[in-house]
């Protein structure tokens, strides 16, 4: 592969760029390139407008950190897929380069594709190669102003639409369109639209081949992936030389000439302005325009096609070409294995992420003489597009159990929820310092089943629960408020718990429902009312440590100290009629202490 030689005449390192006006060519490779441009640009501009399940099919929603790709939603936690995608892209590049040279550069690279589209617009407005060169040289006049102006108008419109489409991959494109036409774009949207539009206009309109020659790293290292069997675009020197002009119909051999008529059309067609007859050069992007140009000349001269053709170094030297070389096979196998692995993993992907963090403040605690408890914070991320009910279970030790705020935890689509999980194990089952166990989070929701999650307040019953536990100190006259007493306390009579659940079995209700009485009270009011009903004083506040010793600080805090003012909006709206709406009548009824 040759490299450009330094100009020997003036010894300067910098050579001013000569503007290149590639000649339009016709032929199968140009048709293929045109097709590639239409298809690839069609995909880029069309995909953001596709809808899937009622939302934009491909949307990289950065603010909520969700990446929707048709039916799949990816999260930052799925970074592995992005890494695998990049590895697949790199391996594909290695594979296709080893097999067929710079296919990517010639047909699919965005720089090539957008430059081609910009050249089309240049031809429509400024004419063919000769006309464009003439226009460059002509002084500024009305005609030049009109042609140049219309070219730039087209370029700028196309570039801005490109910037708009790019932003449309990150912001719902229909909303973006509505905001664009009303000039209501946000600052970031405006910045990226203009920035990407400007980059397109500059790269495809002006920099063009300079990006490939001076800026693209791939052009520099692609030769490392080449071998003597890689497909390259080559000039058949043996057949073409010595080159020279001759009239049509003359046998070149009679004149001691090769097949190259030195018409220079291959050079004029080249978008990077090189002469392929000087051998393979790193500036060659393998676009095959020179093949089409030369084949046209060969047809006119009645010579066989292929003076410039796709070939390999071995084939050009008359040696057999080998398609399946070790590097091609290794790249191919790795690529197939990786693609298969990613597809398999996508089909097996569980749309749920769970993080378990141990309570840093407490290593473990003894609940009573027989039970040991560890507390964990479990963060659930529902990565699905449906809401799910999750149940947390535990296994690994005899008698082990896990307690959470409810049997199931409902997490909406794309939502996260955090629950405190208290893992309890009988003292006899735990041996030594480390006892491995496994927390299992499972979705238990069935889309066919209507699910209602009830959240109860303090249940007023004498057999079990918070009221039952407070009765003895209150009856002994040592009951009192807990903490400041200002915290709200939601309560419900046992009869209404049963009645509410029976009502919900038939009601047209789904999701969370507060199973609490309509009139929550503060703890101090609850305390006074209970004392009045029992005819006992309630002057001495209960220190927090007393119930905390018995039931654990966290339970006491979450039940008795944290303000909970839940009102039964959904239950009332669904038509349920409470047996007890006010605290005192409810307590009198439950404790069998009639007024008076």
Please give the residue ranges that form the binding site for ligand SF4 (CB under 6 A).
233, 235, 240, 260-266, 269-272, 274, 276-277, 284-290, 293-294, 297, 307-308
CA dihedral 551, 556, 560, 562 (to 10 degrees): -160
165 vs 295, which CB is nearer to ligand SF4?
295
Closest Cα to residue 185, out of 170, 197, 198, 175?
Answer: 175
Contacts for 68-76 with beta carbons within 8 Å, 24 or more apart? 72/346, 72/349, 73/351, 73/383, 73/384, 73/385, 73/414, 75/353, 75/381, 75/383
Q: How many residues does the chain have?
A: 596
262 vs 584, which CB is nearer to ligand SF4?
262
307 vs 335, which CB is nearer to ligand SF4?
307
DSSP string, 58-118: EEEETTTTEEEETTEEE-GGGHHHHHHHHHHHHHHHHHHHHHHSSHIIIII-HHHHHHHHH
Residue with tokens 């003894």: 366
276 vs 571, which CB is nearer to ligand SF4?
276
DSSP string, 168-197: HTTS-HHHHHHHHHTT---HHHHHHHHHHH
Q: How far is the CB of 312 from ligand SF4 (least distance, A)?
A: 15
| Nearest-5° Cα angle at 362, 356 to 368 | 105
23 vs 144, which CB is nearer to ligand SF4?
23
Name the helix (H) or strand (E) containing 51: strand 51-52
Tokens of 231: 């497909």
Q: How far is the CB of 212 from ligand SF4 (least distance, A)?
A: 9
239 vs 405, which CB is nearer to ligand SF4?
239
277 vs 410, which CB is nearer to ligand SF4?
277
48 vs 271, which CB is nearer to ligand SF4?
271
Tokens of 84: 């695998």
Please check whether residue 500 is in contact with residue 514, taking contact to mean a CB–CB distance below 8 angstroms. no
Q: How far is the CB of 243 from ligand SF4 (least distance, A)?
A: 6
Q: How far is the CB of 31 from ligand SF4 (least distance, A)?
A: 15
Q: Check residue 358 and give left, alpha or beta (phi > 0: left; psi -120 to 50: alpha).
A: beta
What CA–CA distance (Å, rounded) separates 459 from 290? 86
Please check whether residue 190 is in contact with residue 62, taking contact to mean a CB–CB distance below 8 angstroms. no
Q: How far is the CB of 298 from ligand SF4 (least distance, A)?
A: 7
Residue with tokens 């708009």: 164
Which are the contacts of 485, defined by CB distance < 8 A and separation ≥ 6? 522, 523, 524, 527, 541
Q: How far is the CB of 209 from ligand SF4 (least distance, A)?
A: 8
22 vs 500, which CB is nearer to ligand SF4?
22
Q: How far is the CB of 296 from ligand SF4 (least distance, A)?
A: 8
Closest Cα to residue 212, out of 286, 302, 300, 146?
Answer: 286
231 vs 570, which CB is nearer to ligand SF4?
231
Q: How far is the CB of 184 from ligand SF4 (least distance, A)?
A: 45
Q: How far is the CB of 208 from ligand SF4 (least distance, A)?
A: 12
What CA–CA distance (Å, rounded) separates 230 from 553? 73
Q: How far is the CB of 95 from ligand SF4 (least distance, A)?
A: 21
């Amino acid at each position: 592969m040759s490299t450009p030689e330094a100009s020997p005449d003036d010894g300067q390192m910098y050579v001013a760029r000569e503007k290149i006006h590639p000649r339009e060519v016709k032929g199968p490779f140009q048709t293929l390139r045109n097709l590639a441009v239409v298809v690839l640009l069609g995909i880029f501009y069309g995909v953001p407008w596709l809808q899937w399940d009622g939302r934009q099919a491909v949307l990289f929603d950065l603010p909520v950190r969700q990446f929707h790709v048709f039916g799949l939603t990816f999260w930052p936690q799925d970074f592995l897929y992005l890494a695998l995608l990049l590895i697949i892209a790199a391996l594909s590049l290695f594979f296709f380069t080893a097999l067929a040279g710079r296919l990517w550069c010639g047909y699919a690279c965005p720089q090539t594709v957008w430059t081609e589209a910009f050249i089309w617009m240049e031809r429509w407005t400024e004419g063919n190669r000769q006309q464009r060169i003439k226009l460059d040289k002509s002084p500024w006049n009305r005609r030049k102003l009109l042609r140049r102006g219309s070219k730039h108008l087209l370029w700028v419109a196309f570039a801005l639409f490109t910037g708009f489409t790019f932003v449309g991959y990150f912001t719902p494109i229909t909303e973006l369109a509505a905001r664009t036409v009303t000039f209501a774009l946000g600052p970031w949207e405006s910045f990226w639209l203009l920035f990407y539009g400007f980059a397109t206009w500059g790269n495809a309109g002006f920099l063009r081949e300079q990006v490939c020659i001076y800026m693209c790293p791939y052009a520099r290292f692609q030769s490392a992936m080449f071998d003597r069997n890689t497909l390259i675009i080559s000039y058949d020197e043996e057949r073409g030389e010595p080159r020279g002009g001759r009239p049509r119909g003359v046998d070149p051999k009679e004149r001691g000439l090769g097949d190259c008529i030195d018409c220079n059309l291959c050079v004029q067609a080249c978008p990077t302005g090189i002469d392929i007859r000087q051998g393979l050069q790193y500036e060659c992007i393998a676009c095959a325009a020179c093949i089409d140009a030369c084949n046209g000349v060969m047809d006119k001269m009645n010579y066989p096609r292929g003076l410039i053709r796709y070939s390999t170094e071995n084939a050009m030297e008359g040696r057999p070409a080998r398609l399946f070389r070790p590097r091609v096979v290794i790249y191919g196998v790795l690529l197939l294995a990786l693609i298969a692995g990613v597809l398999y993993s996508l089909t097996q992907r569980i749309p749920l992420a769970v993080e378990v963090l141990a309570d840093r403040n407490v290593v473990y605690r003894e609940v009573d003489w027989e039970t040991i408890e560890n507390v964990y914070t479990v963060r659930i991320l529902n990565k699905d597009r449906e809401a799910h009910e999750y149940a947390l279970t535990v296994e690994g030790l005899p008698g082990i159990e896990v307690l959470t705020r409810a049997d199931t935890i409902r997490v909406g689509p794309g939502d996260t929820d955090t629950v405190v999980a208290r893992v309890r194990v009988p003292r006899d089952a735990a041996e030594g310092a480390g006892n491995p166990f496994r927390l299992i989070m499972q979705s238990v929701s069935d889309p066919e089943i209507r699910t209602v999650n009830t959240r109860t307040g303090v249940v007023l019953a004498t057999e079990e629960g918070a009221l039952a536990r407070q009765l003895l100190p209150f009856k002994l006259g040592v009951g009192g408020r807990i903490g400041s007493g200002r915290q709200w306390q939601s309560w419900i009579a046992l009869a209404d718990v049963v009645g509410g659940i029976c009502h919900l079995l038939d009601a047209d209700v789904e999701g969370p429902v507060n199973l609490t009485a309509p009139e929550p009270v503060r703890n101090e009011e609850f305390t006074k009312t209970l004392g009045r009903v029992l005819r006992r004083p309630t002057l001495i506040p209960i220190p927090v440590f007393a119930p905390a010793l018995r039931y654990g600080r966290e339970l006491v805090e979450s039940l008795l100290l944290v303000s909970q003012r839940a009102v039964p909006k959904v239950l009332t709206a669904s038509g349920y009629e409470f047996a007890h709406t006010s605290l005192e009548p409810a307590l009198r009824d439950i404790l069998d202490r009639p007024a008076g």
